[in-house]
Each structure stands twice: as structure tokens, then as C-alpha cells.
Structure 1
Amino acid sequence: MVGAPSTSQGGRLGGRGRGRGSVGVCPQEDTYHSPCLKGKTLEEQDDKVPAPPRFFPKRPSGVQPPFNTGNPEPGQIFCHFFDEELLQRLVHYTNQKAVGGKKFKWTPVAVEEMKKFVGVLFYMSVVRLPQITDYWRKGSIFSVSHPATVMSRDRLRHILSNLQLSDPKSDAVASQEVTKLIFTDEEELPNASAAVVPTPSEQQEERGTGATAAVSKINQIIVQQEVSRTRATVAHEQAPRPAKKRVWVIGESHVRRAAQLAAVTRGNHLGLSNTCICWFGCGGLHWNGLVPFFNESLQGRALPDVLLINCGGNDLGFLPSVKLVNVMKEDLLQFHCQHPGMQIILSAIPQRRRYKAGPNPAKFEKARRFVNSFMTAFMEKRLVHYTNQKAVCNLEKGKKIQVDSVTVEEMKKFVGVLFYMSVVRLPQITDYWRKEFVFSVSHPATVMSRDRFRHILSNLQLSDPKSDAENDAKKGMENYDPIQCGG
């Protein structure tokens, strides 16, 4: 006989029979996963996390002596984790792979040489150059001296091509490339527990005090970084995207051919994000037809944020060089007065094999260089003027300290240092002026002081700051809503 269901335990079924309880009753007593939920109904249960288990380590958590006192050398910390046994195993595997498939004379690697090899790799991860061979280049402003004092270029490339992190005989696939060295047990990382002790919260699931716990902490940090990176990516995708910059490239037949080439290689927008590039090329375009061609192209379209002009080559030989320069200056100033919010970039006249004015290109080469030289100086003076004007505005607002005006020669040096930084990449700007350091580079300090570079960088202005302020005010009035603002 089946007994009636009992509800004395907060609505639970008391017997083991098949009585039909009401909808929403709790499971039976032996199905609870946590004793803190016993005797509670669904309404009484909460989502609080249970108290963590009690854990009393013998040593305080964190970095252990002697690494938590003073300032230990990087080599001392490295040798603590990568001991002689581990390096010897790495050397053995590398030599074994090199002997098995050598295509050149191979000199066996020693432990000390492997340490130097790893040190050069660390150096390359901080001082970034485009190619490995650039670290041994001499007689260049991008030259760095440290790698050549440690190891030759060919020796590093030989070790790198034969580097093996596991036994080559036991590898199932001979061409397998190991890109990461992952330690998973105490045999691989014997000194981890002596250097780092996890906190009690990190020991809820791993109660061991050996290398497994240290590896668990490392894995937890990696997971947290991945989660943070994923959240940042999602937030970036969900955030309102800024309006795309409209860039116009206008000019001669070069522009039309460049648009066709860009569509095949990197796309119409050159692979730039938040940028819309429009190409306007006209074969045989002369400078006096540039303004009408621009106005015709502007009909039915929004004004571009940036206008890149490539024109003037068809005028060489038809107009005197001095007259062509004066006409170009007048039209550029007219462009700026009519459209003050538009940034104008003038491209240099490229060299040609033939010109429309005659079959001999050498005859017009001198005129081309003359026009490019004068127009470069003209555009640089405008850039210097805008930068000095912004610095004065910031000084009046009390934002910046007093700085000297920038000259054209100093602006050239500033742009040169920027190009240098784009090739030789260091973590921070101050690292380019650091002295007596293994990652030191000497070129920027010989060109400009660090403070002067930062002052110019903070006041760099590519367009008229007064026009920019007026445009910002106009945009603010256009976006003004009297209903939302209470007006």
C-alpha cells in the first residue's frame, strides 16, 4: 500500500513511494548537493556561495624569499625556474634534432650558449624591429648594439631553426612545430612551489602545495586575462562606433590606376577601419582644372574630412615652375578658406618616364624637384603655424607650461623621430631616452630631448585650431535638443 506523501520537511516527499506531489516541490532529501540547503523550500533558498574550506598554509602566500626582498637580478630569477637540468634537456633535444636532419655544419649547443640564445629572444620581445637581420645591422640609425655582443646572427638562426622542446624520436609527426612550452606537473617545473605560494582562495580546488598548485595559479591568471580580453572585445563591439572618416584621393590618372590596384590588393579602403576612401581620378588633369573637378565631385556628397591631392605633373613644361608654385599656393589657401574643417594633404609630384610637354623626361626633372621642394616648405610652415597656435591656446587656458615656438627644422626632426619610433618599437616613449640600459637606443637623444618631444607631441595640430573649435561649436548646436535639455 502506498502511503500518502508527507510535506513535513518543507514540502519534500517524505516516503519512498510514488505519490504525486504538487508542482514545484523540492527533490528528495538524498539528492541535495549541499547540506546548507536542507530544510529549505525553493523560496527560502538563496544563491549565496558557501564559505570556502579552511586552509592554513605553512608559509605566507605570495612570492617567497629571497625574491620578495631587495631587487633580484633577472638572471637569478630565470635560473631559479629554468634550472640546469631543464636547460640540459633542451640542449640535448636541440642537438639531437640538428644531427638528425642537418643540412650544414652543426656545432653542438652548450647550456651557457642556450642561456644567451634565450636572452636574445627576450631582448627581441622588448626591442622590436621588422626583421631578425635588423638586430645585427651596422651603420644605420636603427642599429642596436647588444645582440651582436652576445651571439652572431647566423648562430642564432641555426639554433632557432633546430630548437626542439621535446624528444624528436618520440614525436609522432616529424614536422610538428611547437610554439608554446607548457609545464603541467612537478617534474617539469620543480622550483615553482618554492618561489610562489598561492592564496587560500586559489587553493579551494587544488589543496596541494607543489608545482601543481603553482601551475593552477598560472592557468587561473591566463584564464582571467582571456576573460578580460573577451569582455573588452565585446564591450568594444557593443560600444557606439565613431563615424567613419571620409578621405578623398583626387588627382590625375595615377589616382585611377591606384584605385584599381587597391581594389585587387587591400580593398577600396586600404584595409583601414572606420575610414571610407573615395577615389577621384581624371586622366590628363591639369592644376587649373582641380578646383572645378573637386566642386563637380562634391555635388550630392558630403564634404570629406581629409583631402589628398595628387596633381601638377601634367603642368610641368606648360607653365613656368615659379608660376605653377604660386598658383598651387593660392588654390590651397582658397581650399582652406572655403572648407576650414577639411584637412588637406598635398602629395609630391612623382617621377615619370614621359611627360605630356615633351618626350625627354630629364628636361623636366629639375622643374619637378623645384616644385616639390617649395611646396614641401609651404606645407611644413602651415603645420608649424597650427602647432604653435594650438600651444598658445593651451597656454591661455592654463593647460600647459610655457614652451618655445616650433621652427620648421625642429618639426622635421620631430617627424623623423616619429618615423624612427615606428621602426624601432619600445614599450614606452621614455625608453627611447633611457641611458645605461641593455635596451637603450642612442639616436633619439641626439636629435631632440625627451621633454621637448613630448611638448610638441601634446600640441601637434594638423589644421587650424580656431576653425576646429568653431566646427565643434556648430556640431554641438546641431545636436542640441531643447526638449531633452529642458529648453
Structure 2
Amino acid sequence: MAILVIQANFAKSIPGFKTVWIVGSSIPYWAGEEAGRRPGGKNLKLGFDITWKGIRGLKWGDLDQLLSQEIKFQPRPDVLIIHAGSNDLTTPGNTAVRFIQDIQCSLYRYNVMFPKTLLIWSALLPRLYWHGAPLGQGGVKIDVKRRKVNKAMKKFMVSELDGAFISHDTNINVHQTSLFRYDGTHLSQSGNNAYLNNIQGGLEFILSGKGKIFPPQ
């Protein structure tokens, strides 16, 4: 697996970007824990002040409260990366169309809450096992829904919100079973490192003005 090498003074060359929040479910929670053990710590050697705010088991509807609480106690960030929604994919009756609409409504609202903040969607990850999926081919159907959500959000973030999109499909997929824990849901240490490398690369690419979709297509 390739390791991204990013200069520690990277942020100094990009005026206007100083703080980054990475919020969402257990993926940013555990990634933040792993980041603290890496050289450069939770700021990922980027020179930014990065805050990791992940809540294990978080559903999309919980994100409003999380963000509302955060802005009570600290200034709004320059960049907001959202990684949430996977825990909603197995909810009965929550079709891809309905869920995409819910997400878009929330993001329109966040665009107003954070008027000077760059919003970035971190794509929903695959899983070896989807808890709550119907028996049989349920996991396959849930993954189809996941990909539909990511595809819609990639277009929405760029065309509607002037935001950005970070995909993880190249680095993290179900064929690389060592990237997942025994439960088939959460990332292993190597999986978290692959995720962190992608977040690092995505921030460098997007904030340097090279593009709004990472990896570039």
C-alpha cells in the first residue's frame, strides 16, 4: 500500500485554511484515535488544527445535535468533513432516494450554519458485514444503496454546494479483508491508516485548488 508523504508546512502555503473538523460516526472516531498515534498526531502533519468528533453508532439524524453543540463552544471551522450515514443504510424503508433527499436537506442547512466553511463529503465505506441487513443477498443490496448515495453526493457537493468529495473506494474495498476488524464493520489498524492517508491526500489536493473530487478522475 502506498504511503502518502505530506509536508508538515503544507498549510502555511494556503492562506485562509487553519481549522478542520472531521465529524460523524465510528469511522472518524477510530480514525482520530489512530491519528493520535501517528507522526504529526491528530493534525496529520498538515499544519492545520484538526478536530476529530466521531460518535459511535451515530445516525444521520443525530448530526444536527452534534454540530449545534460544537458551534456553541468554538468558532466555526474553515473546513468541515462529514463522514456519516452508513448506520442508516439498513434502516427498513429508508430507500436510497429517500435517504439522499434527507442528506441533501441537512447539507443545505449546514451550508447556512457554516457560511464561510468548505463542506467536504467523505464517502461511505463498504463493509464485509452489514448489521441489520436482510438475510440472503441483503448485504449486496445495502452496498448498492451505499454506492447510490455516494454517487449522488459527489454530484451534489460539487454542483449545488460548491463543496468537495473524497472517495475511498480505491484504498478501501471488500477484497482487502485485512482492512476490517473481526466484526466486518469497523476498520482495522491498517484500515484506519489507509483511511487517514486518503483524508490527508484529499485535504492536500482540494485545499491546494487542484480539484474538488479526490482522487481526481
TM-score, normalising length: structure 1: 0.29
Aligned Cα root-mean-square deviation (Å): 2.5
Residues 304-323 of structure 1 deviation map (CA, whole Å, 9 limit, x = unaligned): 11000000100102111111
1:65-80 map, 5 Å? none
Query: Match of 2:20?
Result: 247
Q: Which has the higher contact order (CA 8 A, sep 6+)?
A: 2
Question: What letter is aligned with 1:297?
Answer: E
1:7-406 map, 5 Å? 245-266=18-39, 267-273=41-47, 275-318=48-91, 319-358=94-133, 360-382=138-160
**Contact 1:252 1:284 (8 Å CA) reproduced:** yes
Change (3 A) 1:264 1:354: same
- Listed as ranges, the gaps of 5+ residues in structure 1 are 1-129, 131-241, 388-458, 463-487
- Listed as ranges, the gaps of 5+ residues in structure 2 are 3-14, 164-208, 213-217
Question: What letter is aligned with 1:327?
Answer: D
1:407-446 map, 5 Å? none
**Contact 1:244 1:276 (8 Å CA) reproduced:** no
Question: What letter is aligned with 1:269?
Answer: N
1:357 positional shift: 2.3
Report sequence identity in percent: 29
Question: What letter is aligned with 1:303?
Answer: R
> Which is richer in strand?
2
Question: Helix, strand or coil: the match of 2:52?
Answer: strand
1:298 positional shift: 2.2
1:337 positional shift: 1.8
Residues 106-165 of structure 1 deviation map (CA, whole Å, 9 limit, x = unaligned): xxxxxxxxxxxxxxxxxxxxxxxx9xxxxxxxxxxxxxxxxxxxxxxxxxxxxxxxxxxx
**Contact 2:17 2:78 (8 Å CA) reproduced:** no
1:355 positional shift: 2.3
Cα distance in 1 for partners of 2:147, 2:71 equals 31
Query: Match of 1:179?
Result: none
1:348 positional shift: 0.8
Question: What letter is aligned with 2:90?
Answer: G
Question: Helix, strand or coil: the match of 1:350?
Answer: coil
Question: Helix, strand or coil: the match of 1:299?
Answer: helix
Question: Helix, strand or coil: the match of 1:332?
Answer: helix
Question: What letter is aligned with 2:128?
Answer: R
Please tell me whether Structure 1 or Structure 2 has the larger radius of gyration of its CA atoms. 1
Cα distance in 2 for partners of 1:252, 1:327 equals 17
1:380 positional shift: 2.6
1:382 positional shift: 2.9
**Contact 2:16 2:78 (8 Å CA) reproduced:** no
1:461 positional shift: 9.3
TM-score, normalising length: structure 2: 0.62
Residues 456-487 of structure 1 deviation map (CA, whole Å, 9 limit, x = unaligned): xxx9997xxxxxxxxxxxxxxxxxxxxxxxxx
1:243 positional shift: 7.3
Cα distance in 2 for partners of 1:334, 1:291 equals 9
Question: Helix, strand or coil: the match of 2:124?
Answer: coil
